[in-house]
Amino acid sequence: MATREELARRKLAEMKQIEEELYGGGIRCIAGIDEVGRGPLAGPVVAAAVILPRDFDVIGVDDSKKLSAKKREELYGLITRYAVSYAIGVVDNRIIDQINILEATKLAMKQAVEKLTTTPEYILIDALTLKDISIPQRGIIKGDCLSVSIAAASIVAKVTRDRMMEEYHRQYPHYGFDQNKGYGTKAHYEGIDCHGMCLLHRKSFLKKWIEFQEDDAVLSNP
C-alpha cells in the first residue's frame, strides 16, 4: 500500500502533466493564473500569476479551496520562495461595480501577468482566456485541480486576499470580514442590516438590499 507521501508525489506528478507536455514542445517558461473573490459581497477580486521552475517538487499543492488555512499559508511561503516569478493583480469593489465581476476578474488577471518580472512563453488560466494578452494561452476548466501552476496561483491569490480582508476587518469590524472574507454569511448580512454598507461593499451585488432600504424609506416617509 502506498504511503501518504507516495500518494502526494503521485498527485504532484499528475498535476505537472500539462506543463510537461508544454516543456516537451519547447516551451520553457509557463505561468499559471487564477483568481479569488468573484462571489463575495465586499472587497476586491484578486488574481495571481505564478511561474514555477520545471523541477518544482513541493508536494501538497492543490486547489486552494481544498486546503486548510494553515496549509495554504505553509504552501504560500514555499511557492513564493521557489517561484521564478509571481505577481498579484487587484481590482477593487468600485471597479467591479462599474465593469461587472467577470471583466474585473479578467482585468486582475491581466494586471498580474503584466507585473511578472519574467515574461512567460505560455499561460495556463483557470477557466478563462484573456483576449488582450498576446502570449499563447489555454483556459482549463477546473484548472486549479489539474495544473500545478494554476493551483499555485490559486493558493497565492487566496492567501493574499484573505490577508487583505483580515486587515479590512480592523477598519470595518461590524461585518466579520476576518471570518467570512466578504462572503454573504448570516453575520455579514446582519452587519449590513445594523450598520449599512461600508466603502468595501459591492453595490451591484447588493441591489436587492438597496432596493429594500429605499422601499422601506419611502414607506416610513409617505
pLDDT in tens, 80-134: 999 999 999 999 999 999 999 999 999 999 999 999 999 999 999 999 999 989 9
Span 135-175, pLDDT tens digits: 999 999 999 999 999 999 999 999 999 999 999 999 999 99
Radius of gyration of the chain (CA): 20
pLDDT tier at 211, thresholds 50, 70, 90 = confident
Q: Where are the alpha helices (DSSP H) in 120-206?
A: 143-146, 148-171, 177-180, 186-195
- Residue 52's contacts (CB-CB under 8 Å, 6 or more residues apart) are 19, 30, 32, 79, 82, 83, 84, 148, 149, 152
| Residue pair 150/128 in contact by the 8 Å Cβ criterion | no
Q: For position 212, what pLDDT does the model report?
A: 65
Domains in the chain, ordered, with CATH?
4-220 (3.30.420.10)
Average pLDDT of the chain? 94
Residue 100: left if φ>0, alpha if ψ -120 to 50, beta else—which one?
left
**H/E segment holding residue 36:** strand 30-36
